[in-house]
A and B are shown apart, each in its own frame.
Chain A
Amino acid sequence: MERAEVPSMIREQKLSRWIEEYSDSILHTCFIYLSDQSQAEDATQDTWIKAWKHMSDFERQGIANEKAWLLRIAINTCKDYRRSAWFRHIDRKQALDELPPHLVSVEPKDHTLTLMVMELPDRYKQVILLYYFQGLTMLETAEALGTSQSTVHRRLKKAEELLKVSLTGGVAYEG
């Protein structure tokens, strides 16, 4: 079915809404991935540039979940940053310590869990970030990572195992 070309003003409104709605989510995902605030901000900017550039693809393909699509771009951007090796030897704890002051209280154990997530191998960090942190479904996570649901399932299981000591320790929840 032929689709009418989307006027650029409507695209700009959409991008503007996305930037307002998803910039913090993307920035947080990029920070956990890159362990560097400045790099995370750059990656967030690059994500928006790519999103704008490929807006026509988004429209033409009728992609249902914009957040998953944007997070996919963000993850791929971060992978490029990591591969580019322009920055290495990042001290993750220092990166966390240098973040702006918390707006909510952080329990010491939570600090440990965040570090553990940041130190996960990329393939496991990706699924944790998308599935648990960003709340995507299994299918959306698979789509965002360009892999199968069964692969996401296996990686989640391994990631949960790697985090298990922290996740099962002192968990506060209401039954």
Chain B
Amino acid sequence: MMTKKAGMVKKAIAFFLLVFAPGLLAPIFCRELSRYDETVVLDGDGSATIRLSLAFADRAESRVLIPVRHAALLNLHAQGMAKGAVRQVENKGNYFLALDFAGTGVSPAAIEISFQVKNYFENKGASTPFGNKELGYRFVNVAFARIGKFSAKLVLPAGFVINGIGSFSPKPKKSGMALPYTISRQDGKDVAGIAVDNVKLGDEITLHCTFKSTKKSLPLLLVLIALAVAYLVFFRDILKNGKNASGPQP
């Protein structure tokens, strides 16, 4: 039987690992990036093509780990690197892309990686009322000592529009400072983006939004047109007498 004291010790160890693990891992994984750009191009079937573009601030390490959220990556490809030099690895439930430069002998200044993910979002039916689908992005920097400029973009499938931004982080430190997220359109597709400068080890960047089809309700359109016409027909008496037919005014 586990004593109360043992339970406390376990909790303390778990807390220690949770809080200090990124710091302990830092010397192993640590490299500094001057730029990290991630573009998630979503497809109507729920899958996504993800493109990463990284620029290194130094060339010291021969092995780099990049945190990824997804377990199964398809068509993994890194520009200018041999096929075996890029692979996905798992470390205690966390997934990483491992880039091994040892074979090439040279650590590049920048690298482009692309891969595909199935079921990036739930494409069947709406996940919220009003036909909205939910879309979330999360990046926790557990690999790099510092990222100079971080940006991520979520490109919606054609025929969909961003309904609203639900939550995001980091929040502006002061009121009046610009929000980190943007909503734009590229090649006819809606894009939700987030950009943050100076991302430190352990920092978290999130962007949650909802999106919906661009299709509009035809019955609502017809009902409102009918209502407007009916008003013009049945409320003609307003023009004749001074009394307000629609009720008293405040």
Mutual binders A and B:
no
